[in-house]
Structure 1
Amino acid sequence: MIASVRGPVVDVALDHVVIDCGGVGYQVLVTPSTAGSVRRGVESTLLTTMIVREDSMTLYGFTEPDARSLFTLLQTVTGVGPRLAMATLAVLEPDALRQALAGGDTKALMTVPGIGKRVAERLVVELRDKVDRPHTESGGAAGVSGFTIRDQVTEALVGLGFAEAQAEKAVIAVLAENPDADSATVLRAGLASLGKTK
């Protein structure tokens, strides 16, 4: 089992990064916010979970133990595989996900592509007693200020190859329309406005 990888970042994409570990490049699937937290040529460490299938071995990476724990926990629910678990963490930050599960907020869970009403209800029933409600009671950004999100997402876009001025302009425009958006939502919208996603 590969529990973590550390080394210089060779490549960064929206859904994965490649990290050089002793001359071997490991492709690690990540959320957009995690991809935005690393930079090409800079040494980084990612906590990982390795999923082994008959025809593949896939690494999923996280910057925090909490996110990795939630990734594993989500997959204990019937119908939730690693890709859907990853999509959930891409849409909902760990605190927001814990809040939705503990509070029975199926509508929040249904904002994740691939999660319908039945799966959302199953997630709540099976996991509400297995997660701790986060201390923050704020919505959207889970207690992170708009200024912090602006800086974080701007840095993420710069890490993906955009000019800083261009990235900051896109982020400001997104936050002006949706000031309560979390970092993952702002990153996706910023990439869309810059022509990198549909």
Structure 2
Amino acid sequence: MIDSLNGEVIAIGLDHAVIECAGVGYRFMATPPTLGRLTRGENARVLTAMVVKEDSMTLYGFTDDDGRSMFHRLTTVSGLGPKLAMASLSVFEPAELAGHITAGDSKAIQAIPGVGKKMADRLILELKDKLKGVYAAPAAEGDASGAATAATASASFATEQVVEALVGLGFPEKSARTAVGAVVEEDPEVDSSALLRAALNRLGKK
């Protein structure tokens, strides 16, 4: 099993990066926040998790053990695969997600692209007890405005993630924020993956 990679970053894509270790380039899937912390040509260390299927072996990269451990926990949920686990970590930090799950906040969890009410309820049912005390949960909201506040915070966090990813790809922060802001203005409910693609498209036209 490959537990971590430490070497030069030789490529960064929309959802992956490649780190060269001892002459071998290892491609791994990662979230925008993780990709945003990488820079081509510089050395970096990422923790990894390998998912083996009948027809593939895929590496997933994380900046810290909290992200990796949450990834492993999420993939134990019935019907929730690695792709959806990564989408979850693209929207929420591990502690934030754990807080929503232990609080039973199904509506906040549905901010994750591809997660509907049924999957959100399943996450709560299967992980609520397992996550208690593992992460520091965010403060609970006591009224109906809590859900709206959580949704706004999630959207803002996703925007910052995409800006980080674009800066990591070599774009100036000012240009990245302008492009991301324009996309969000056109579609306030755009998910982080679509936001990253649309912002890259705008920056590529300049």
TM-score band (shorter)?
0.7 to 0.9
Larger displacement relative to structure 2 (124-133 or 17-26): 124-133
Counterpart residue number, 1:181: none
Unaligned runs of 5+ in 1: 178-183
In the TM superposition, what whole-angstrom CA distance separates every residue of 1:20-45 from its partner, at most 9, and x where no partner exists? 01110000100011111100011001
Where in structure 2 are the equivalents of 1:150-189 lying within 5 Å? 154=163, 156-170=165-179, 185=192, 189=195
Partners of 2:196 and 2:55 in 1: CA distance: 35
Q: Which residue of 2 aligns with 1:195?
A: 201
Q: Which runs of 5+ in 2 are unaligned?
A: 141-149
Aligned residues: 187
Mean Cα deviation higher: 58-67 or 104-113: 104-113
C-alpha change, 1:190 and 1:99, in structure 2 (3 Å) is same
Structure 1 residue ranges (4+ consecutive) displaced by more than 3 angstroms after TM superposition: 138-142, 152-156, 168-177, 187-191
Structure 1 residues 196 and 71, CA gap change in structure 2 (3 angstroms):
farther
Is contact 1:170-1:190 (8 Å) kept?
no
Matched, 1:100 2:100: yes
Shift of 1:162: 1.7
Amino acid at match of 1:78: S
Contact 1:32 1:188 in 2 (8 A): no
Q: Sequence identity, in percent?
A: 49
The answer to whether structure 1 residue 78 and structure 2 residue 87 are counterparts is no
User: In the alignment, residue 134 of structure 1 is paired with which amino acid?
Assistant: A
In 1, the alpha carbon distance for the partners of 2:52 and 2:18 equals 19
Question: More displaced, 153-162 or 118-127?
Answer: 153-162
Find the residue that maps to 1:49 and give its secondary structure: strand
Output the CA distance in 1 between the equivalents of 2:198 and 2:6: 30
Alignment of 1:5-44 (within 5 A): 5-44=5-44
Task: Give the Cα separation in 2 of the matches to 1:117 and 1:155.
Answer: 29
Secondary structure of 2:9's match?
strand
* Inter-CA distance 2–189: structure 2 relative to 1 (3 Å threshold): same
CA distance in 1, matches of 2:183, 2:175: 13
Structure richer in helix, relative to its length: 2
Matches within 5 A, 1:115-134: 115-131=115-131, 132=133, 134=136
TM-score with structure 2 setting the length:
0.76
SS where residue 127 of structure 1 aligns?
helix
**C-alpha deviation, 1:116, in angstroms:** 1.8
